[in-house]
Amino acid sequence: MQKRILTIQDYSVLGRCSLTVALPIISSLQIECVGLPTAVLSNHTAFPTFSFVDLTDHMLESVDKWDGYNNNFDMIYTGYLAKGQVDIVLSIIKKLKRENTIIFIDPAFGESGKLYKGFDKEHVDDMKRLVEVSDYLLPNLTEACYLTDTFYQPEDHELAYSVVDKLLALGAKNVVLTGVKRENNVGCLLVNKKNQYYYGTNDLKKKFHGTGDVFSSALAGSILSTDDITKAIKVAHEFTSLAMQKTIEDNVDGILYGPEFEKAIPFLVDQFK
């Protein structure tokens, strides 16, 4: 049977991120992607200004309208949430989670040691409650430090391991820490109670906004496409890296507009043929 993901995140019209990357990436893997918007923005918040329509009241109302219809999902994948939406997301999870539904959480609230515009400690504390129910948690080092009340220091090898342990203790079943550097490589570190796995490739030394969402969406789709989690991680990483390489080759503004992931979709599709 065709797999289905419910993803809960914003729709930022300009600037590739959130639903605008999750829908095409997941669909390209022949998985149905049901996108529940948390807010509609003119563009993501790294632009100097943006308009924001909050859809908090619409979220649970939409899900309740699906009673009696197909509301069975193999995965619930959450990304950028507006302030105050965690309780609603927890209610949605409680309502829709079946025995095999994977709960996949990208905290999506900060990077480079800082919170994104509009977020505060209260939002971080709310997000900790999503950590507790996560089967997969995908923080970058900034988010991992905020979630564990740890002082952020970039590129600290020991810190990466200690925050991951704290996140497992908070209840996450698998932590995939992104943006982990090792020598000339950058990649991600998967840790669960039994295993550790690192996969990285040559650091391209560029930061394109929305790259984290490209990786998360590719990993969400890959996890449902193979039983081999190390393969899923490798594919999601290589897809993201290829999208960045295409953006660099084309010499376009990926910093605001995001990586040209569309050009890497044929690669992604090939991996699960």
Binding site for ligand PXL (CB under 6 A): 10, 12, 17-18, 41, 44-46, 80, 108, 116, 210, 212-213
How far the first Cα of the chain sits from its last, in Å, is 17
Angle at 15 between CA 14 and CA 20, to 5 degrees: 85
* Least distance (Å) between residue 137 CB and ligand PXL: 16
* Least distance (Å) between residue 115 CB and ligand PXL: 10
- Of 228 and 253, which CB lies nearer to ligand PXL in the complex structure? 253
* Least distance (Å) between residue 152 CB and ligand PXL: 17
Alpha-carbon gap, residue 234 to 231, rounded angstroms: 5
* Least distance (Å) between residue 206 CB and ligand PXL: 15
Alpha-carbon gap, residue 121 to 134, rounded angstroms: 20
Q: Residue type at 191?
A: V
Q: Residue 109: what are its φ and ψ, rounded to 5°?
A: -125, 0
Q: How far is CA 119 from the centre of its chain?
A: 17
- Of 37 and 187, which CB lies nearer to ligand PXL in the complex structure? 37
- Of 22 and 160, which CB lies nearer to ligand PXL in the complex structure? 22
CB-based contact 255:207 (threshold 8 Å): yes
Alpha-carbon gap, residue 162 to 141, rounded angstroms: 11
- Of 2 and 49, which CB lies nearer to ligand PXL in the complex structure? 49
- Of 126 and 213, which CB lies nearer to ligand PXL in the complex structure? 213
* Least distance (Å) between residue 257 CB and ligand PXL: 12
Q: Residue type at 133?
A: V
- Of 116 and 197, which CB lies nearer to ligand PXL in the complex structure? 116
Alpha-carbon gap, residue 161 to 197, rounded angstroms: 12
Residue nearest to ligand PXL (CB): 45
* Least distance (Å) between residue 18 CB and ligand PXL: 4
* Least distance (Å) between residue 12 CB and ligand PXL: 5
- Of 118 and 154, which CB lies nearer to ligand PXL in the complex structure? 118
Q: Residue type at 143?
A: E
Alpha-carbon gap, residue 133 to 130, rounded angstroms: 5
CA distance readout (Å), 84 to 119, 125, 140, 162: 10, 11, 21, 29
Q: Which two tokens stand for residue 139?
A: 């923080």
